[in-house]
Amino acid sequence: DGGITQSPKYLFRKEGQNVTLSCEQNLNHDAMYWYRQDPGQGLRLIYYSQIVNDFQKGDIAEGYSVSREKKESFPLTVTSAQKNPTAFYLCASGYRGGNEQFFGPGTRLTVL
Amino acid sequence: SQQGEEDPQALSIQEGENATMNCSYKTSINNLQWYRQNSGRGLVHLILIRSNEREKHSGRLRVTLDTSKKSSSLLITASRAADTASYFCATDAITQGGSEKLVFGKGTKLTVNP
């Protein structure tokens, strides 16, 4: 089945640790995105990538890092520099051009 | 910054009634999209309306767009309990790097009571 997957579904992190969230798609999409969602809020763009080996900062990139070594994969690392990382993280992919995006099921990160 | 702002923030109706949600935005757009999110899940694309369109239908969904007022509405007719979800509008925007991105509003939480 074609789709976009995220793992793990739930992630717990101790303060000071880096954690990496996985995002994989087999939809042959060039563009991939990472969003953060806080309770009762909309989505805020963290990083995006329009093509392999290239990515750009979104609106709230501080404390996060990404890589795009393969078309199918766009992992997000939440570093210890992110002061308030507890949130719901959503990955999406789509064709270049700002149209429909396809979302993964999300990863809920909790800092203990 | 979030360009789209949905209204109301929360809406509770009875099954069979119609639900109307509104979205306002600030700058010119090429298109506007509506997404649905069930609690704790990812977003699902519902419908896209282009700036030169005024109305679009998809099943029980009806979307209107008024570019002069920078607003859109999503109407769900004959609602069902399964329509319970949060609904977000998203507008296209240009990043500082010149790429296109979507900007999401805060959403309307719809509850349909059986």
Residue A97 pLDDT greater than 80, yes or no: no
pLDDT (tens digit per residue) in B27-48: 888 999 999 999 999 999 999 9
pLDDT at A98: 58
Q: Which of A6, A98, A106 is nearest residue B101 as measured by Cβ atoms?
A: A98
Q: What single string gives the DSSP state of each residue in A59-84?
A: SS-TTEEE--SBTTB--EEE-TT-S-
Mean of all residue pLDDT scores within chain B: 92
Tell me the two tokens of residue B39: 């609690």
**Option in B88, B92, B93 nearest A42 (CB):** B88
Give the strand pairing for A19-25 and A4-7: antiparallel
Burial of B30 (0-12, 13-18, 19+ CB in 10 A): middle
Find all residues with CB under 8 Å of A39, minimum gap 6, and list them: none
Report yes or no: B100 and B87 within 8 Å, Cβ to Cβ.
no
Give yes or no for a contact between A103 and B42, defined as CB atoms under 8 angstroms apart: yes
Here the tokens at position B57 are 């239908």
Mutate to test the interface with A, among B7, B50, B94, B101 (most CBs of A within 10 A): B101
